[in-house]
A and B are shown apart, each in its own frame.
Chain A
Amino acid sequence: MTSTRLAGEILDRDFLAIRHAILNIAAGLDRVGDGRAVDSVAGDPRLERIHEALKVLAEGETGRAERVQMLFSRAYESNWRS
């Protein structure tokens, strides 16, 4: 099963929602950046993940949601039983 709709229709319907989500990210990062002692979070791995995730969003290929999920996931260790 695949999408039943044309890409143009989807963009018409979802443009404002996507714009809204991006603005929330921008404002959220500004909020952190405007906080006191911002240097203390410079190397925070969570911020690094966020910046890596933003790069995924800019990629052309679909499957971005899955790749972002993997970016925020701990890696599988096959020897977990030991």
Chain B
Amino acid sequence: MNYIDPHIHMVSRITDDYERLARSGCEAISEPAFWAGFDRGSAEAFRDYFKQLTEFERNRAAQFGIQHFCWLCINAKEAENVSLSREVIALIPEFLDTPGVLGIGEIGLNKNTPNEATIFTEQVDFAASHEELILIHTPHLEDKYMGTRMILDVLASDSRVTPGRVLIDHVEEHTVKLALDGGYWCGMTLYPLTKCTPARAVDIIERVGVERIMVNSAGDWGVSDPTAVPKFVVEMRSRGHAESTIRKIVYDNPLSFFSQSKRFDFTPRD
């Protein structure tokens, strides 16, 4: 089955991974701006990173017939440095006409600190004033619940934010309903150990349904599996779910959400 991975960090992956993705039916990917494995020393380093996302990765993906889209922002981890963050946010407008840039993300919280909350709020403001889609990273482990509630507080306090234009990512059993009940889209990350397994993701789908929900591999610096989405497909199939239901989660839903961006220049395969 052809699928879209709506959250994968290809800058951290080797070219062979693109080949594996292509062989497993991956048609398109979206790559949020995130941490580079180390804290960058200047805003210029982010300009280079944004070029890498919008030019180099897009071309590298195209060599394997995969359409590459991306998101721009200062990530929650490096947002601890408020002055650097503001310089990075000021760079973003120069990339906002670039094809394939879907919006602002992944912004959010990491350790739920006041500095992270300040920069998160400023980036929500930036996205709202530029009418951009938003992709949100929720914290890990014991910080996830509190961080998700803080994120929802910030979103709710900005009347310009339309929930249907926001994707809240890395939801799990205890946060998925918070996101869906607020009218937001949500993403489940299939990740060994710290996030969801394919089986748990299907359990969640069976509880909350298939509206406004998608799955991704996150494929990043940690031990992660870039072809996790096909494993979710196999788990859904083995439980007897219809192909149309599976396709909605791994293809139609990301397509509907991304189509709200005017720079989503996607061409479906015949």
Contact = CB atoms under 8 A, between A and B. Distances in A.
Q: Please say whether chains A and B are actual partners in one complex.
A: yes
B206 A74 contact: no
B235 to A, nearest CB: 11
A23 to B, nearest CB: 18
Size category of the A interface is 10 to 19
A48 B174 CA distance: 20
Interface string A14-36: 00000000000000000000000
A1 B206 contact: yes
Contact of A4 (B172, B173, B203, B241): B241
Interface string B122-159: 00000000000000000001111110011001000000
A3 interface: yes
Question: Secondary structure at chain A's binding surface: helix, strand, loop or mixed?
Answer: loop
B240 A5 contact: yes
A40 interface: no
Interface in A38-82: 65-66, 69-70, 72-77, 80-81
Contact of B146 (A2, A4, A74): A74
B269 interface: no
Contacts of A73: 142, 144-146, 174
Interface in B200-237: 200, 203, 205-210
Nearest to B172: A69
Question: Secondary structure at chain B's binding surface: helix, strand, loop or mixed?
Answer: helix
Contacts of A81: 117, 153
Nearest to A13: B238
B198 to A, nearest CB: 12
A76 B141 CA distance: 14
Size category of the B interface is 20 to 34
Contacts of B245: 1
A73 B150 CA distance: 14
Contacts of B117: 80-81
Contacts of A80: 112, 117, 146, 150, 153
Contacts of B144: 73
B173 A69 contact: yes
Contacts of B239: 3-5
Nearest to B141: A72
B56 to A, nearest CB: 38
A66 B150 CA distance: 19
A72 B142 contact: yes
A66 B209 CA distance: 16
B227 to A, nearest CB: 21
A70 B245 CA distance: 29
B205 A1 contact: yes
Nearest to A73: B145
A65 B203 contact: yes
A74 B139 CA distance: 12
A1 B206 CA distance: 6
A65 B201 CA distance: 12
3 nearest A-B residue pairs (beta carbon):
A69-B174, A73-B145, A66-B173
Given A69-B174, A72-B141, A80-B146, 10 more contacts: A1-B209, A3-B239, A4-B206, A5-B239, A65-B203, A72-B142, A73-B144, A74-B142, A76-B145, A76-B149
